[in-house]
Amino acid sequence: MRRKENLPEFKSVQEMAEFWDTHSVADYWDQLEPEEIELAPELAARAARKCADKERTETWE
């Protein structure tokens, strides 16, 4: 079994990007916390439509 590492503190967005280029979020999932985000209105509407479409599709399967 692989030794579990702690998620590092990043000093920059570039450093974080380089880290995630070579690591899987699956290895750190339990160390992550949910974030609230705000979407632009057009993106929020599109996301809502996608969710509704997915729910409708799953109902028929």
Tokens of 58: 């799953």
> In whole angstroms, what is the distance from residue 48 CA to residue 39 CA?
11
CA 23 to centroid of chain Cα atoms: 14
Residue 19 lies in a domain: yes
For the residues 32-46, what does the mean pLDDT come to?
Answer: 91
5 within domain boundaries: no
Mean pLDDT of the chain: 85
Per the domain annotation, does 41 fall within a domain? Answer: yes
Is residue 32 in some structural domain? yes
pLDDT tier, 41 (very low <50, low <70, confident <90, very high otherwise): very high
φ, ψ of residue 43 in degrees (nearest 5): -75, -40
Number of folded domains that form the chain: 1
